[in-house]
């Protein structure tokens, strides 16, 4: 492989530098965007776990709705247990 002259090296360096600058986003910005994306995914995961914990029990429903019959409560319990 032939040796490059100093002028050829500078030309290649400047061409590569222009390509990187034309890309429009720096590595620091990419790191920041990746961290924001990871934090967003972690937040969504955390919220989904919190919502899962807050499923009402049959006792809570019974307290909230006095007019429900025991049959209605059993039907609700069956429908929610089949979802899990």
Q: Assess whether 60 and 76 both reside in one domain.
A: yes
Helix, strand, or coil here: 29? Answer: helix
Q: Assess whether 13 and 46 both reside in one domain.
A: yes
Q: Which residue has the tokens 């360096």?
A: 13
Structural domain total, the chain: 2
pTM of the model: 0.40
Q: Assess whether 41 and 61 both reside in one domain.
A: no
pLDDT of residue 41: 96
Range of 69's domain? 56-84
Q: Assess whether 18 and 33 both reside in one domain.
A: yes
pLDDT along the chain (84 residues), means of 10: 83 88 76 95 91 75 70 78 60
pLDDT of residue 56: 74
Q: Assess whether 17 and 43 both reside in one domain.
A: yes
pLDDT of residue 68: 64
CA-CA distance, 21 to 27, in Å (whole number)? 11
Q: Which residue has the tokens 């499923």?
A: 55
pLDDT of residue 83: 54
């Amino acid at each position: 492989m032939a040796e490059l002259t100093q002028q050829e090296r500078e030309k290649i360096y400047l061409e590569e530098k222009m390509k990187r600058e034309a890309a429009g986003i720096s590595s620091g910005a990419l790191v920041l965007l990746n961290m924001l994306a990871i934090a967003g995914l972690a937040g969504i995961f955390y919220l989904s776990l919190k919502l899962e914990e807050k499923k009402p029990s049959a006792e809570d429903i019974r307290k909230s709705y006095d007019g429900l019959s025991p049959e209605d409560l059993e039907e609700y319990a069956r429908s929610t247990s089949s979802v899990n």
